[in-house]
């Protein structure tokens, strides 16, 4: 059961990283136009990064 001493912190840190990543996506306006972004990825033209 000593393995828990590693596994639990690892799972918590990984969850935390995921959360930080999500916070970053919110802060950079990546949920403003979900429908448009879903279509743009199929467009052949080069797409600039989302507007700030």
Partner 1 sequence: MTATMRPNISACPACSAAPAAEALAETAEVKNARIALSLPTIHCSACIASVEEALNAYPGVHQARVNLTMKRASIEADADVMPDDLVQALAGIGYEAHELDAGTLSATETDKAGRDLLMRMAVAGFAAMNVMLLSVSVWSGAADATRDMFHWISALITMPVILFSGQPFYRNAWAALKHGRLNMDVPITLAIVLAVVTSLWETALSGKHAYFDAALALTFFLLAGRYLDHRTRAIARSAAEELAALEVPRAWVLRDGQEVQVPAAQVAVGDLVRVRPGGRMPVDGEITDGVSELDRSLLTGETLPVFAEPGQAVSAGEVNLTGPLTIRATAVGEETSLHRMADLVAVAESGRSRYTSLADKAAKLYAPGVHILSALSFVGWYLYTWDVRTALNIAAAVLIITCPCALGLAVPAVTTAASGRLFRRGMLIKHGTALERLAEVDTVVFDKTGTLTRGTPELTNLGDHAASDLQIAAALAAASSHPLSQAIVTACQAAGVTPAEVTEISELPGYGTQGTWQGMPVRLGRAAWVGADPRAETTAWLRIGDERPRAFSFADALRDGAEEAVQALIASGREVILISGDTTPAVEALARRLGITQWVAEALPADKVARIAQLTEQGGRVLMVGDGLNDTAALAGAHVSISPASALDAARVASDIVLLGGDLSPIADALETARKSTRRIRENFRIATVYNIIAVPLAVAGLATPLIAALAMSASSITVSLNALRVR
Which lies closer to partner 1 via its Cβ, residue 6 or residue 42? 42
Under the criterion CB under 8 A, does residue 22 sit at the interface with partner 1?
yes
Number of DSSP helices (H) and strands (E) in the chain, helices first = 2, 0
Q: Does 13 bind partner 1 (CB under 8 A)?
A: no
3-class DSSP assignment, residue 6: helix
CA angle 10, 14, 15 (to 5 degrees): 115
Q: Which positions touch partner 1 (CB under 8 A)?
A: 1, 4, 8, 11-12, 15, 18-19, 22-23, 26, 29, 31-36, 39-40, 42-43, 45-46, 48-49, 51
């Amino acid at each position: 059961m000593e393995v828990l001493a590693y596994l639990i912190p690892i799972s918590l840190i990984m969850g935390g990283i995921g959360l930080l990543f999500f916070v970053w996506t919110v802060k950079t306006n990546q949920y403003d136009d979900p429908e448009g972004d879903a279509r743009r990825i199929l467009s052949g033209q080069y797409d600039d990064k989302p507007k700030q």
